[in-house]
Amino acid sequence: MAVFSLGPEQVAWCAEVRALAAERLGPLVDKGEPGHVNRPLLAALGQLGLLARLFSSGALDLCLMRESLAQVCTEAETALALQGLGAHPVHAHGNPAQRERWLPRVADGSAVAAFALSEPGAGSDAAALSLAAEPDGGDGWRLFGAKCWISNAPEADFYTVFARTTPGAGARGVTAFLVPADRPGLTGSALEMLSPHPIGALDFDAVPVTAADVLGEVDRGFAVAMGTLNLFRPSVGAFAVGMAQAALDATVRHTRRREAFHGTLMDLQAVSHQVAEMALRTEAARLMVYAAATAYDRGAPDVPGRAAMAKLLATETAQYVVDTAVQLHGARALRRGHLLEHLYREVRAPRIYEGASEVQRGIIAKELYAKTEEGPR
């Protein structure tokens, strides 16, 4: 792939997004309750046109938006990302009625979307999901079972739900359904997490769905899920890069002015070399994220492997950078309300959701062996 660099318009737009995050979105964070959907923040994302861009631009644009928001306001970044993840299957696979009903409301922030794939016994092994779609006569089914670790649950207005329509068929027997939150038999509860995002569990007790609720084709829902993740995994990496950049910037400022041992911290080689390593890893992760997103936009055949590499490298890098930043700041970084205390809680989850780091390594290896012919023994 060609050497990648952003054009002047892209650089200017990223700066504009960061300014909007600081001036318009950050002040709305306190309008919400920790662990719950912040609807005023979503409405502002809609008014600024950022949610609509989820459906009108490509993977690179999504990455630039998420990275820019993450540098300034992780809450706004997460709110936008969850709308995109939950609604993308409707945008990409929904019928006209589904799209007309929900996408304009997602874009203006008045409807909350959620992506319901993970289960108590099928998180990383998504193909093993057991939420049952039992035939209910004609073109209908009843959903029985549970979902867990679902972002925006139980407060979403609709869910993209993946259920097993053909028992024993693995990934080939899964169907994606659009399930409005007011369907009878659908209940949920919130989960308290390390970083207080809206995440919950869902219970399905004979929830009715019909052919009109199917996203894509019956028994082809796993492709809907993986296609969505191939788009969003590089942008999870972009979120991580944004957090790493925020931690790096804070560390450069701190080590430049913090006096210790008859000078500033930046004068200590042990410190300056760590800061250099933070910068090196952040930039390497950023370039891999951009390359994966560009490959997606160009329709390259190796997108799954590239997306996995981007998410893996960027999320592991962000963990390292934030942890090192905390170490170089000392105890002040652990005080409640400090930027790094906030980032330290935020940075851990991306190494797990949308495919844990171990899953990404498995995808990379699978793609590598699939395109390499077996040589002589």
Closest alpha carbon to 41 in 14, 78, 70 = 78
3-state secondary structure 167-194: CCCHHHHEEEEEEECCCCCEEEEECCCC
CA distances (Å), 206 to each of 51, 133, 142, 156, 313, in order?
33, 9, 5, 19, 41
| 354 included as an active-site residue | yes
Per DSSP, the three-state class of 210 is: strand
Provide the greatest CA pair distance for the chain.
81
Contact call for residues 120 and 148 (beta carbons, < 8 A): yes
Helix (H) or strand (E) holding 94: none
Select which of 75, 77, 354, 367 is catalytic: 354
DSSP 98-155: HHHHHHHHHHTTSS-EEEE--BTTBSS-GGG---EEEE-STTEEEEEEEEEEEETTTT
Q: Could you tell me the end-to-end alpha-carbon distance of the chain, in angstroms, rounded to an integer?
A: 32
Contact call for residues 284 and 313 (beta carbons, < 8 A): yes
- The set of catalytic residues is 354
